[in-house]
Amino acid sequence: DAGVIQSPRHEVTEMGQEVTLRCKPISGHDYLFWYRQTMMRGLELLIYFNNNVPIDDSGMPEDRFSAKMPNASFSTLKIQPSEPRDSAVYFCASSFGLSSYEQYFGPGTRLTVT
Amino acid sequence: KQEVTQIPAALSVPEGENLVLNCSFTDSAIYNLQWFRQDPGKGLTSLLLIQSSQREQTSGRLNASLDKSSGRSTLYIAASQPGDSATYLCAVRYGGGYNKLIFGAGTRLAVHP
């Protein structure tokens, strides 16, 4: 398997623009997670899905952030409108079932909002 | 509040040394604990996963221990190599069936030849 795939790897945008980050989890995994990593706050869980259903979105910073998982092989994280403080590395991770909680991370998307 | 702390924040050692990275957590009711490695500009690679019922896990030169009662885990790296240079992150999962990981800030390791 190719592992968790994220796109784009780098995104530079201007304040106020809409940003969409994409993730393809490992085939067969039923959990998908979105994390954000910054120097100040480290790694934070934003939201996670189980079988395409959002389970916990308490980490989503504000209404400007939204996430969807229309099917088992694709998820998006959208920021609208973007702000400079959203600059961070966004990671997607996936895992399989209750018998194994090991999470597999994608390479991340480095977002810079100017 | 459930928090995970890693000490030291940074560590520099000569090649060949054995070293220990520390992780502590405030709430001992964990489900399991996972150690990750992160290389600069890259994602996280899972190294070891320890279930709450286990005391340790080993993979090659890596050994992770877990002491729930004291709220601590250690990652032992034997015979360190320059290729081990990376940031090592500890993450704790609380609650059976609940898949949320809480991460420490990491230990940045540099192994010099």
User: Which residue has tokens 């005391």?
Assistant: B55
- Best CA proximity match to B103, nearest among A91, A6, A70, A49: A91
Residues of chain A in contact with residue B106, where contact means CB-CB under 8 angstroms, are 42
Q: What is the pLDDT of residues A25-81, one digit of tens each?
A: 999 999 999 999 998 888 999 999 999 999 989 899 889 999 999 999 999 999 999
- pLDDT string in tens for chain B (113-residue length): 778 999 999 999 999 999 999 999 988 788 889 999 999 888 899 999 998 899 999 999 999 999 999 999 999 999 999 999 999 999 998 765 556 788 999 999 999 99
pLDDT band at A23 (very low <50, low <70, confident <90, very high): very high
- Best CA proximity match to B44, nearest among A34, A93, A39: A93
Cβ neighbors of A82 (< 8 A, separation 6 or more) are: A13, A14, A15, A16, A17, A18, A19, A64, A111, A113
**B22-56: b (≥16 Cβ within 10 Å) or e:** ebbbeeeebbbbbbbbbeeeebbebbbbbebeeee
Q: Side chain identity at A98, as an amino acid letter? A: L
Nearest to B97 among A48, A95, A98 (CB): A98
Is B38 in contact with B86 (CB distance < 8 Å)? Answer: yes
pLDDT for the residue numbered B10: 95
Share the mean pLDDT of chain A: 92
Residues of chain A in contact with residue B32, where contact means CB-CB under 8 angstroms, are 101
Nearest to B100 among A42, A45, A104 (CB): A45
